[in-house]
Amino acid sequence: MSADDGPAPLPGESLARLSSGEQVRIYVRRLIFDGVLRPGQRVPQDAIAKTLGVSRIPVREALIALEHEGWVTQIAHRGAYVNMLDEPSIRDHYELNGLFFGFAVRRAVERRGIALAEPLEALQKRIARTRDTAELSRLVREFHGTVIAGAGSPRLRTVFRQMTDIVPGDFFELVPGSEKVVRAGTGAIVAAISRGYSEIAEREYAVLLRRQGDLVVELFERRGMFEGSLGSEPAG
């Protein structure tokens, strides 16, 4: 795909309620994920602006955000180029998330005690029951948000709002095995909290995010998104 190729196909997500910059950011991430844009390729800013019906300003804003997230590198007077993904970076992303949520749940248990288990248990039962992946994503984010709220830290709330995932789109639809992992992981976290075991809850959060990272690495390997990996699925 180049700037002269015309509009790129939209990924199957609803972008209408997002800001223009967020639309572009999600769109470019999905193009990279789907193999439409490959490592080392220049991001066709004009084609993307035309496809989404936006000006170049939100495209530039999105590319700044994507550079901070590690998806692209911007080179002065040349444009933005897609970065090569690597397995350690993916694993580091989920390890760091595990540390963050582990710290938050430890603080939440210290400050709220076993009372924190009640709202989380209700959410976990819904997580275990639902078979709708979009609802599962919403419930899991609500689970995480309840932990953050329980920690009572404005700083943690700010970091949580800024967090993004590596996989664009419906995580539980796109990542095989992730539903089973999150159901087991949230169940273990709630069990630890209900007994007041803050350190065990912290450890179980780290285990949950590490297992999610393992699944994402396997997915990216199959899709040929790492340097030197052949992949078993066609790009696009």
Instruction: Please spell the DSSP secondary structure of 147-185, one letter per residue.
Output: HHHHHT-HHHHHHHHH---SS-S-HHHHSTTHHHHHHHH
CATH class of the domain whose range is 20-82: mainly alpha
- Domain spans, the chain: 20-82, 87-222
Residue 35 has pLDDT above 90, yes or no: no
Q: Report the top-level CATH class of 87-222.
A: mainly alpha
Cβ atoms 52, 23 nearer than 8 A: yes
CA–CA dist 116, 111 (Å, integer): 9
pLDDT band at 150 (very low <50, low <70, confident <90, very high): very high
More confident residue, 94 or 1: 94
Judge whether residue 11 has pLDDT over 60. Answer: no
Quickly state the pLDDT bin for 12 (edges 50, 70, 90). very low
Question: Does the pLDDT value for residue 78 go beyond 60?
Answer: yes
Cα→Cα distances 95→21, 102, 147, Å:
28, 10, 18
pLDDT confidence bin for 179, thresholds 50/70/90: very high
User: For 83, which DSSP code?
Assistant: P
| Residues 198 and 106 sit within 8 Å (Cβ to Cβ) | yes
Q: What is the mean pLDDT of the chain?
A: 89
Residue 61 has pLDDT above 90, yes or no: yes
The verdict on pTM exceeding 0.95 is no
27 or 18: which carries more pLDDT confidence? 27
Identify the pLDDT of residue 7: 41
Mean pLDDT of the 65-90 span: 91
d(CA 160, CA 151): 12
